[in-house]
Structure formats: structure tokens, C-alpha cells
Amino acid sequence: MKTVILAGGRGTRLAEETGRIPKPMVRIGDRPILWHIMRTYATYGFDEFVLALGYKGEMIKEYFLNYRPLNSDLTLDLATGNHREVNTTLPDWTIDLVDTGQNTMTGGRVLRLRDWIGDQTFMLTYGDGLADVDIRALVDFHRSHGRLATVTAVRPPARFGALTITDGRVVEFAEKPQVGEGWINGGFLVLEPQVIEYLEDDSTIWEHEPLEELARDGQLMAFEHDGYWQAMDTLREKQILETEWQSGHAPWMVWSDE
């Protein structure tokens, strides 16, 4: 099963970092937040990724093109320029890096990936949020209910998409409520390929009409996650994640080694 990661936005609320690099490349410790997200999925055996690139996407391409030599010891022959990688232990990930446009909205990016996704169930998440979601349990839950979409519901401050849930089914979706508390859209979705039919063009915002219509059609279910979840929208939130990582006990770290 492929995991699509939305990695093309401008991240304007984190301009202190995103003026020079794309938001998914903002580092937590010595790794981009994108790596932390991918490592979470790979820990549960999901190691095929499709990265929806846009703003400064070439920097994400360069990171992965150079990943092998930069994460290996090297023996270098300066006279010839030849080099040999030594003590290489690298993740066995397959990564599609796809330019989905500079100004394309989130739903439009998914639409542009239609051919990369194919006709199989796929996962979708954002390139700026970390959690200790049990991905295998999430997938099992999605397969158990037979509907088109599952969103992971979390309980942080109410400024993301709010979910109204009855018997596990999302009956209403409202993006970014101004007041109130409760379950919200935490990303980490599992989707059937038919959700593409809910997308119109580059201007489609995934969190607006598509999720709202899926909820109205009875096709959106919620995987309720009571564990850790933290978005990285501001410098303050970036510093929260950095502090947690430096503590040596980062709560999203579902893997046991570096």
C-alpha cells in the first residue's frame, strides 16, 4: 500500500524556516520532519511513498538523491573522484517524488497523483505532523468498515477540521472551527481510489468539499487516536517538537533504534 505525503505547501505560518526550505524539510533533531513521518509508516511495514511536491520541491529531491552517500561512511579516491560507500545501513524505502505544481491545493495534488496511486487502497497524510498512530491498526480499522475513507481523529486545540462522530462514522466535517473542542482531523488517512471522484481540479482543497461530501455520503469513518499528535504550523510548535526529540524520549518515536 502506497503512502501519499502532501509536501508541496508554502508553510507561510512558519516563515522563519520556510523562507529558505520547504516545510517538510524543517529539521527535528538532525532529520527533516518528513523523515520522521516516513519512518513512522515504515516501522509498520509501509515503505512505499509518493511525495506530492510543490514549493521548493527540488530541495526534497536533492535530499533523497544524496541520502545514500550522506548517510554512509565513504572511501574516496581524490585523483579519480571514485568513491566507495562503507558501513551503509539504509532504509529499504521506495519513493516517488512527483511535482504537483507550485500553487495546487491539497485535493488538487491528490488528483494529480491519480496515475501514481492506481486502483489500490492508499494512505494520505500531511508533511508537517507527527504522531504515535498505530498504522497497522488504522489500516485494519479501515478494512473492517468497507467505506471509502478513514481519517485519524485526534484531540489537540480546536483549530483544525472538526469531526462529529456517531458510532465510529463521521456524520459531519467542518474545517477549522473558530470555537469548541473535540475530535479534529489529524491526517493519517486511509482511502479507496474512488475518492478521486470527489476531486475536481487544482483548486480543490481536500479538507473542504471532498471530506465534507464524503461525510454527507456516509463514506467517512474515524479512527479515534487518544495518543500523541502534534502539528508543526508555527515556530513555537517546531520548538516543542525539537525539545521533545532532544529529551531522548520523543513521543512519536515508534521505532526502537536510529
- In DSSP terms, 94 is beta-bridged to 48
- Structural domain includes residue 256: no
Q: Which domain holds residue 211?
A: 2-72+85-246
- Structural domain includes residue 80: no
Looking only at Cα atoms, what is the longest distance across the chain? 69
Cell 561512511 belongs to residue:
73
- Number of domains making up the chain: 1
Give 179's pLDDT tier (boundaries 50, 70, 90): very low
The rounded distance, in Å, linking the Cα atoms of 22 and 61 is 11
- Structural domain includes residue 252: no
- Write the CATH number for 197: 3.90.550.10
- Structural domain includes residue 178: yes
- Structural domain includes residue 251: no
Residue 74 identity (one-letter amino acid): L
Q: Which three cell numbers stand for residue 119?
A: 486502483
Q: Is the pLDDT of residue 178 over 50?
A: no
Residue 41 identity (one-letter amino acid): Y
Q: Is the pLDDT of residue 91 over 60?
A: yes
Q: Which three cell numbers stand for residue 77?
A: 579516491
Dump pLDDT digits (tens) for 20-31: 999 999 999 999
